[in-house]
């Protein structure tokens, strides 16, 4: 699955490929990296939430959609009915009507859910479209195996547009009962010669919706979940923790309040992050590989253990060799910034194939090809508050997460993170085919992600080299200038 993002914030164009296991995004500040991460997160989240609906709920939704004919029929329905009634041919091209049905269904499912997510996060903005372009419409295109569709709009609403299928659709009459099938590049929908127009339209609707549902499910069948670790993880965690306590106290004293209190808006990805960290549930299992990775971070970077208190719903830090149990707010910036990452690895993203949700997906898939499950973890600025040595160590730990089936997506301003990732490609820890690196570059039409070359020689550096060269040249000029003055003094 590929997700193309256009005209969001300062971004002109950017594309994500969910097949990549390690995706590093670099570039200057204020060029839209957080925008594309958020939109990508919302799209994948919407598809996952749709795919997680129980089969019964999906059938009910399908039934309600098929019988919702109280309003006057749309022009597309009228036109297709006229074609059916004409019956000059035993075969009718139904591609346009099929796209119309798919558009309605996708709007009522993925489109509405995505719109709600965008509006809840950007409702305080006047617009989220690219101010550098002439359009006030933002756009995201979801490219699946059999269908591609776009969502276009702004804060208030996104509409499904530009639906294309990998096949045409043909309506064919038959005296015998025949199942819908693919012949060449066409989907053939067989109907009986004695069926009326309404029955044929309902059959078209049923085939279309079922196949689109399956395409959406197939697109995320191996993605177990997606998580977003924002920049300033520590500050957000501490602020939201305190904020929850404040709301609780205000609720107790609401009868004494005489003025309306406006609560600050919290974007969807930030609220998801906080809810995940404060709703960790104790479970009777220990996923060895993830536990070992979390423990290695504690040993090599934190020099202490991160503990989640299931009663207080808070993170604590226990320094090695002490009996102290420190609230995260009382620790160093390095510890408080890395603690949520350890908690996620140990309690949130860890999984094993014995979990019921995974077993259900295996049974539902019913295919001979083994499924390679993964989770997606987005991390903004993984270098935050870390010494360069620890930045290098953490980059290797993220690569190990990728080896364990966690697709890593990171934005970074650190040449240490970048160069370590490049070295991991050379070392073979990160196979070049699984790695994507994009450099955000700003133009007069907005920013664009430019793919960087990734091969057995590492990742091509078109981002940090200039800054390093400037410093080297400055150093040489200062040193040479200093030597010249010394020579003049000697003379």
Residue 200: what pLDDT? 86
The residue to which tokens 């009507």 are assigned: 97
| Contact in structure between 416 and 391 (CB atoms under 8 Å) | yes
Looking at the fold, whether 24 and 50 belong to one and the same domain comes out as yes
Q: Looking at beta carbons, which pairs linking 287-292 to residues 24 or more positions away fall under 8 Å?
A: 287/350, 287/351, 287/352, 289/404, 290/345, 290/346, 290/349, 290/350, 290/404, 291/346, 291/350
Looking at the fold, whether 236 and 209 belong to one and the same domain comes out as no
Looking at the fold, whether 378 and 338 belong to one and the same domain comes out as no
Looking at the fold, whether 178 and 246 belong to one and the same domain comes out as no
Give how far the C-alpha of residue 21 lies from the chain's centroid of Cα atoms, to the nearest Å. 13
Looking at the fold, whether 81 and 44 belong to one and the same domain comes out as yes
| Contact in structure between 50 and 109 (CB atoms under 8 Å) | yes
Domain boundary, last residue among 337, 371, 405: 371
Residue 389: what pLDDT? 95
Residue 440: what pLDDT? 93
Residue 263: what pLDDT? 47
Residue 321 tokens read as: 């060799």
Compute the 3-state secondary structure of the chain and give helix, strand, coil in percent, each to the nearest 5: 45, 25, 30
- CA–CA distance, 120 with 114 (Å, rounded to integer): 10
Compute, in degrees rounded to 10, the torsion defined by CA atoms 237, 238, 239, 241: 80
- Count how many domains the chain has: 2
| Contact in structure between 315 and 335 (CB atoms under 8 Å) | no
In a domain, residue 55? The reply is yes
- CA–CA distance, 159 with 181 (Å, rounded to integer): 30
In a domain, residue 32? The reply is yes
Looking at the fold, whether 323 and 392 belong to one and the same domain comes out as no
In a domain, residue 46? The reply is yes
Looking at the fold, whether 5 and 27 belong to one and the same domain comes out as yes
Looking at the fold, whether 391 and 464 belong to one and the same domain comes out as yes
In a domain, residue 377? The reply is yes
Looking at the fold, whether 339 and 460 belong to one and the same domain comes out as no
Domain boundary, last residue among 347, 371, 395: 371
The residue to which tokens 């919702």 are assigned: 68
In a domain, residue 259? The reply is no
Helix 197-219 vs helix 75-86: angle between axes, to the nearest 10 degrees? 120
Residue 255: what pLDDT? 47
Domain boundary, last residue among 371, 393, 417: 371
CATH number at residue 418: 3.40.50
Please, which residues have CB within 8 angstroms of residue 167's CB and are 6 or more apart in sequence? 146, 182, 185, 186, 187
In a domain, residue 429? The reply is yes
How close are the terminal C-alpha atoms of the chain, in Å?
Answer: 72
Sign, Cα dihedral of 388, 390, 396, 402: negative
Q: Within 316-384, where are the H helices?
A: 333-343, 356-365
Sheet order of strands, 186-192 included: 91-93, 168-174, 186-192, 181-183
Sign, Cα dihedral of 27, 28, 32, 38: positive
- CA–CA distance, 326 with 26 (Å, rounded to integer): 34
Q: What is the pTM of this model?
A: 0.86
Taking Cα atoms as reference points, which of 2, 32, 162 lies closest to residue 439? 32
Compute, in degrees rounded to 10, the torsion defined by CA atoms 399, 400, 404, 409: -30
In a domain, residue 341? The reply is yes
Q: Within 366-448, where are the H helices?
A: 388-403, 415-427
Residue 6: what pLDDT? 94
Looking at the fold, whether 322 and 350 belong to one and the same domain comes out as yes
Please, which residues have CB within 8 angstroms of residue 76's CB and are 6 or more apart in sequence? 96, 97, 100
From first to last of its 491 residues, what are the pLDDT tens digits of the chain?
A: 999 999 998 999 999 999 999 999 999 888 889 899 999 999 999 999 887 765 545 555 554 555 455 566 688 888 888 888 776 667 888 899 899 999 989 998 899 999 999 988 887 777 888 878 777 899 999 999 889 999 999 988 999 999 999 999 998 888 778 889 989 899 999 888 778 888 888 888 888 888 888 888 888 888 989 999 988 776 666 666 656 555 445 444 544 445 554 545 567 788 788 888 878 877 655 678 899 999 999 999 999 999 988 888 888 999 999 989 998 888 898 998 999 999 999 988 887 655 666 656 655 555 566 678 899 999 999 998 999 999 999 999 999 999 999 999 999 999 999 999 999 999 999 999 999 999 999 988 899 999 999 999 999 988 777 777 788 888 888 888 765 455 455 44
Q: Which range marks the domain in which residue 434 is found?
A: 1-222+373-472
Residue 272: what pLDDT? 84
In a domain, residue 59? The reply is yes
| Contact in structure between 384 and 230 (CB atoms under 8 Å) | no
Looking at the fold, whether 12 and 94 belong to one and the same domain comes out as yes
Residue 338 tokens read as: 């890395």
Looking at the fold, whether 362 and 397 belong to one and the same domain comes out as no
């Amino acid at each position: 699955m590929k997700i193309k993002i256009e005209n969001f914030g300062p971004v002109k164009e950017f594309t994500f490929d969910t097949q990549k296991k390690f995706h590093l995004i670099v570039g200057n500040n204020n060029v839209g990296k957080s925008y594309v991460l958020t939109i990508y997160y919302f799209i994948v989240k919407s598809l996952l939430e749709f795919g997680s609906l129980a089969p019964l709920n999906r059938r009910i939704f399908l039934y309600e959609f098929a019988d919702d004919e109280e309003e006057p029929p749309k022009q597309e329905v009228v036109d297709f009915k006229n074609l059916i009634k004409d019956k000059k041919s035993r075969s009718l091209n139904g591609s346009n009507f099929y796209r119309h049905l798919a558009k309605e269904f996708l709007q009522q499912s993925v489109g509405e859910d995505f719109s709600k997510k965008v509006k809840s996060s950007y409702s305080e903005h006047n617009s989220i479209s690219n101010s550098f372009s002439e359009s006030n419409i933002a756009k995201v295109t979801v490219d699946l195996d059999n269908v591609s569709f776009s969502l276009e709009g702004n804060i208030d609403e996104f509409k499904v547009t530009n639906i294309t299928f990998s096949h045409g659709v043909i309506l064919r009459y038959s005296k015998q009962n025949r199942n819908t099938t693919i012949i060449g590049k066409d989907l053939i929908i067989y109907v009986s010669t004695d069926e009326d127009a309404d029955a044929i339209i309902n059959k078209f609707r049923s085939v279309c919706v079922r196949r689109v549902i399956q395409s959406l499910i197939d697109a995320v069948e191996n993605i177990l979940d997606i998580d977003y670790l924002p920049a300033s993880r520590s500050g957000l965690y501490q602020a939201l923790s305190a904020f929850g306590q404040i709301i609780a106290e205000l609720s107790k004293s609401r009868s004494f309040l005489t003025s309306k209190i406006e609560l600050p808006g919290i974007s969807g990805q930030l609220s998801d992050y906080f809810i995940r960290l404060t709703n960790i549930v104790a479970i009777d299992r220990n996923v060895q590989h993830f536990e070992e990775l979390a423990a290695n971070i504690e040993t090599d970077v934190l020099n202490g253990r991160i503990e989640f208190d299931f009663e207080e719903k808070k993170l604590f830090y226990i320094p090695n060799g002490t009996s102290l149990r420190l609230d995260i707010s009382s620790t160093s910036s390095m510890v408080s910034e890395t603690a949520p990452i350890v908690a996620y690895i140990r309690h949130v993203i860890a999984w094993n194939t014995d979990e019921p949700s995974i077993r259900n997906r295996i049974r539902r898939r019913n295919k001979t090809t083994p499924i390679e499950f993964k989770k997606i973890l987005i991390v903004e600025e993984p270098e935050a508050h870390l010494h360069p040595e620890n930045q290098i160590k953490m980059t290797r730990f993220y690569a190990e997460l990728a080896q364990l089936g966690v697709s890593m997506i990171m934005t970074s301003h650190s040449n240490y993170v970048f160069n370590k990732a490049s070295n991991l490609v050379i070392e073979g820890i990160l196979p070049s085919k699984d790695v994507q690196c994009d450099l955000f570059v700003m133009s007069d039409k907005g920013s664009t992600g430019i793919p960087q070359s990734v091969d057995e020689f590492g990742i091509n550096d078109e981002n940090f080299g200039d800054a390093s060269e400037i410093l080297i040249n400055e150093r040489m000029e200062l040193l040479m200038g200093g030597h010249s003055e010394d020579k003049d003094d000697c003379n």
